[in-house]
Structure 1
Amino acid sequence: MRRVSRAINRVLLGATGVVLLGAGGLVLLGGLGLPAKWHLHLPAHWPWSRPDDVLLSAHQRTRWTGQGWWWPVVIAALAVFVLLMLWWLLSQLRRHRVNEILVDSGDGEGATLRGRALEGVLAAESESLEGVDRAGVLLTGRRSEPRVRALLALAPHADPETVVRRLSDEAVAHARRSAGLDRLPADVRLRAVKHRPERVS
């Protein structure tokens, strides 16, 4: 499913790039008056053949503006378009989660391990460390080379250096060995837990 999603994403990006490149080339061609300079014999209906050409005539631009439904439809369509583009942009910027990890089973066939299962084990073992109040773990990277992104909420008495060392030596090391990985890099972010002051009477 993820491969299909990636293929669709690449096709959409490629098609969008081709359309934008073609439109930009047409605008540049007409804006600089290149058809006349290069003596290109373009069809009579060809758009943007001269610098003073426009995409839409005044009649075409104002044809529906007198209708009551026109502006609400235009605004709604543009709003939907902007939201879709923002969603697409955010989906490109965020790091992709690893759904499964390739495990060397030793028989030449290999096996897969669910990424969420390993995340759950890592989070549980991280929370069991002294000084860790809560832990969130996310696997990124590739199936054959996953990476760990961990966010640890530390208790007030916790020693950050000790917590990070134990996380590397225990939780991450256990996960690396159980998954049969040669290496399992980890990016760890720490934040202090803020407790509400309690009133004592």
Structure 2
Amino acid sequence: MLRVVDRVALGLVGLVLVVVGGAVLAVGLGVSPPSWWIHDGPHDVLLSTAERTRLRDETWWWPTVIAALALLAVCALWWLIAVLRRRRLGEVLVDTGDGAGALLRGRALEGVLAADAARPDGVSHAHARLTGRRDAPRAHVRLLLEPHVDPAQALDRLTTEALAHARDSAALRELPAEVRLRTAKHKAERVS
């Protein structure tokens, strides 16, 4: 939902900026504007001195300007945080076969996936996070491997066991995953 609002808002702001900027550019290049347009010609200013200074002495003017700019800054900050924050999936839609479906908590599936991923020998720690839509989740898995473990073997075990188990238990057609592997730090061994 936020992605749709984000795209619509950006599209509308971009369209307004292109239309107004293009019209001002056209008038500046010598195209004669219509009678209702804010500019009369290429040498006209946007705001005259009288228009700029007429509200300066009003008591409501500066508080209104400051409140409007503060509201604009808060909205822009909210939008930036909403765009940058990656949301966790709250629930996963499980197809029960009767057409209604059931909802599975996303954190529960993340916990089971992390526990299954950490079970094989050589995996020191596992962390799982689900993103995406509730009918098409995506898994982000981080594995901390012991130094002696082959990464290809650990990745194969993760895809054939833990991810397959999570996909089958939630009745999903597919469960795309991004996997990050790291090795645990260890002390150097002495050779005698």
Task: State the TM-score, normalized to the length of structure 2.
Answer: 0.71
- How far residue 143 of structure 1 moved from its aligned partner, in angstroms, is 2.4
Specify the alignment match of 2:29 in structure 1.
32
Specify the alignment match of 2:118 in structure 1.
127
Q: How many residues align?
A: 184
- 1:196/1:83 CA distance change after superposition, 3 Å: farther
Which one-letter code corresponds to 1:43 in the other structure? S
Which one-letter code corresponds to 1:137 in the other structure? A
- 1:141/1:157 CA distance change after superposition, 3 Å: same
- 1:33/1:125 CA distance change after superposition, 3 Å: same
Identity of aligned residues (%): 53
Do the aligned residues in 2 keep the contact of 1:101 with 1:114 (CA within 8 Å)? Answer: yes
Which one-letter code corresponds to 2:122 in the other structure? G
Specify the alignment match of 1:43 in structure 2.
35
CA separation in 2, counterparts of 1:56 and 1:153?
63
Which secondary structure does the structure 1 equivalent of 2:32 belong to?
helix
The reply to whether residue 113 of structure 1 matches residue 104 of structure 2 is yes
Task: State the TM-score, normalized to the length of structure 1.
Answer: 0.68
- 1:145/1:84 CA distance change after superposition, 3 Å: same
Match of 1:55 among 43, 46, 57: 46
CA separation in 2, counterparts of 1:186 and 1:20?
39
4+ aligned runs moved over 6 Å, structure 1: 59-65, 77-80
Q: Deviation digits for residues 53-75 of structure 1, max 9, x if unmatched?
A: 3333456668999xxxxxxxx99
- 1:52/1:169 CA distance change after superposition, 3 Å: same
- Ranges in structure 2 where 5+ consecutive residues have no aligned partner: 57-64
- Ranges in structure 1 where 5+ consecutive residues have no aligned partner: 37-41, 66-73
